[in-house]
Amino acid sequence: MVYLIVKDIMRREPFAMEDELATTLRAKMRELDLRSIPVVDDEGKLVGVIGRKDLLRVTSGKSMILVKGIASPPIVTCSPDSTIEEVAREMIEKDVAMIPVVKENFLLGFLTIEDVLRVVSERKPERGKISVSEVMSKEVEICSPEDSLTKVWTRMEETGFSGFPVLRDGKLVGIVTRKDIIESGSIRLELESEKGKFRNPPK
């Protein structure tokens, strides 16, 4: 059996520069619909990753903050010769949606969970015959239309879920995701009045 490896499907861009303004990166990620992005220094070495929720900390009072001020060390990385199966397993075990691809700490590209799922479904179409009931989570977090976005966001942070179904009188009326809340601007506005401290950039 021929195994597909990371370098065959990885994305080589986009990426963020550590001295880039966080507000500029926020606009870029929104335009490209990215959940997270790798961050490099001037030499192209990986220094961290940034996700959508990291950028929520960039309030109007912190508009000049640089990317390196809010980047987090990557939870996991992979090599260009890793197999897709290995990367998929790491994503599940570490609960990450993006993995930077590095060689001697130089960033070569990255893989998202969407990339992995697309490749797996194309190469193993028989898996598409599995029913939703066989894999769905039965411990579901829900919210109501009257819940505040702050409350819903806090629950997402606590549970790790990226979205909740919205129920009224036991009936599904919609869903709300982290992306919806971020794009509403409500969470960021609440942070405007808080004195949030930024982490030192990873070394």
Beta strands 46-51 and 36-40, pairing class: antiparallel
Average pLDDT, the chain: 81
Q: What is the pLDDT of residues 27-79, one digit of tens each?
A: 888 888 888 899 999 999 999 999 887 887 776 566 688 998 889 998 899 99
- In the chain, the domains with their CATH numbers are 6-127 (3.10.580.10), 137-187 (3.10.580.10)
Decide if 31 contacts 92 (C-beta within 8 A): no
| Residue at token pair 């990885």 | 10
User: Is 37 strand, coil or helix?
Assistant: strand
**pTM strictly above 0.75:** no
Task: Output the six-digit token pair for 91.
Answer: 């994503």
User: Is 34 strand, coil or helix?
Assistant: coil
pLDDT band at 124 (very low <50, low <70, confident <90, very high): low
Decide if 12 contacts 100 (C-beta within 8 A): no
Mean pLDDT of 112-139: 68
Q: Enter the DSSP assignment of 130.
A: S
Beta strands 163-168 and 171-177, pairing class: antiparallel
